[in-house]
């Protein structure tokens, strides 16, 4: 059965989808994207993802698409691809559209290109065992709060992690642990869960906020305060959080063990609480 995708108002087989070589997403990475997860056919925190999409569209001044319409598209893709009642990942991308190549925006504006697809979820990482990570310099631009399709620095760091046989790269800017290439990063220091504060240097991760909300709801000490690369060696625990990773314990950094070298109690408890929201 051919996968069905959405492109500019139509549902069609993926191999029939055609995007112009003059699309500004192709030429300039001029667009945004979202990734939302469905558990048993029901989306988790989809409204929050679409609100972030709307903020990204506004930040890039991309007009002509209402982010709330992506909800119907996402649900329809689940149904058309046989994912009703199943776990899946929906990818949504909106670019500024097709226009002759100029660095400035098309004038008058053109219709955006709207694309979406659904895929089964495959994870090679087991939270019962935890994962290894490396550290890498944060070479991204200064608007990391926008979920832009311009991901080359993330890809370079993620490839370095893959080559090292680990799950993720922790991005370091001016000594501060910011986030991963596609995850948020948390540390546990002296009984407190910490993560980098919201700013233009990190993505306002949906799962990051869920973890912070769970900490607040269940009385787990927490704070949004920076920690540094030199702090990693003294962390009681480290863990990742993201749409595909959920809550994933980090058990080693650059081949050095974190804490006891096994998943810690804070990450395990937060994963349990997270699953209570998704089941």
Both structure tokens of 225: 């305060």
- At 199 the three-state DSSP class reads coil
Q: What sign does the dihedral 239-274-204-26 (CA atoms) show?
A: positive
Determine the pLDDT at residue 122: 84
Mean pLDDT computed over 265-273? 98
Residue 1: pLDDT band with limits 50, 70, 90:
low
CB within 8 Å of 217: residues ≥ 6 apart: none
- Can you read off the two tokens belonging to residue 128? 């019962």
The C-alpha atoms of residue 75 and residue 184 are separated, in whole angstroms, by 26
> Residues 228-250: pLDDT tens digits?
999 999 999 999 999 999 999 99
Q: Report d(CA 49, CA 36) in Å as an integer.
A: 7
Exactly one of 14, 86, 129, 147 is catalytic; which is it? 147
Q: Domains for the chain: give ranges and CATH numbers.
A: 4-119 (3.30.470.10), 131-278 (3.20.10.10)
pLDDT at 190: 97
Q: What is the pLDDT of residue 229?
A: 98
Residues 152-159, mean pLDDT to the nearest whole number: 98
Average of per-residue pLDDT values in the chain: 97
147 catalytically annotated: yes
Q: Are 244 and 122 in contact (CB under 8 A)?
A: no
* Residue 183: DSSP 8-state: S
pLDDT digits (tens, 9 = 90+) for 198-235: 999 999 999 999 999 999 999 999 999 999 999 999 99
The mean per-residue pLDDT over the stretch 120-143 comes to 95
Cα 77 from Cα 61, distance rounded (Å) = 27
DSSP single-letter state for residue 108: S
What is the sign, positive or negative, of the torsion defined by CA atoms of 208, 210, 214, 217? positive
């Amino acid at each position: 059965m051919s996968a069905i995708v959405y492109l500019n108002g139509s549902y069609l087989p993926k191999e029939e989808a055609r995007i112009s070589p003059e699309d500004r997403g192709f030429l300039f990475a001029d667009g945004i994207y979202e990734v939302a997860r469905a558990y048993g056919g029901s989306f988790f925190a989809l409204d929050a993802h679409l609100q972030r999409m709307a903020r990204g569209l506004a930040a890039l001044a991309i007009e002509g698409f209402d982010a709330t319409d992506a909800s119907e598209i996402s649900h329809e893709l689940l149904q058309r691809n046989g994912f009703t009642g199943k776990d899946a990942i929906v990818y949504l991308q909106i670019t500024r559209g097709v226009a002759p190549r100029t660095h400035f925006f098309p004038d008058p504006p053109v219709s955006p290109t709207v694309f979406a697809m659904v895929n089964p979820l495959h994870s090679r990482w087991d939270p019962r065992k935890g994962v290894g990570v490396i550290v890498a310099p944060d070479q991204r631009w200064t608007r990391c709060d926008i979920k832009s399709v311009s991901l080359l620095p993330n890809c370079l760091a993620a490839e370095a992690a893959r080559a090292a046989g680990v799950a993720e790269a922790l991005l370091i800017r001016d000594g501060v642990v910011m986030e991963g290439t596609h995850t948020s990063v948390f540390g546990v220091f002296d009984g407190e869960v910490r993560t980098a504060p919201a700013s233009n240097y990190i993505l306002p991760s949906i799962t990051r906020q869920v973890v912070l909300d769970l900490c607040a709801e269940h009385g787990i000490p927490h704070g949004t305060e920076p920690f540094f690369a030199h702090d990693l060696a003294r962390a009681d625990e480290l863990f990742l959080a993201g749409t595909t990773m959920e809550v994933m314990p980090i058990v080693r950094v650059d081949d050095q063990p974190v804490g006891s070298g096994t998943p810690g109690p804070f990450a395990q408890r937060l994963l349990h609480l997270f699953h209570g929201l998704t089941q």
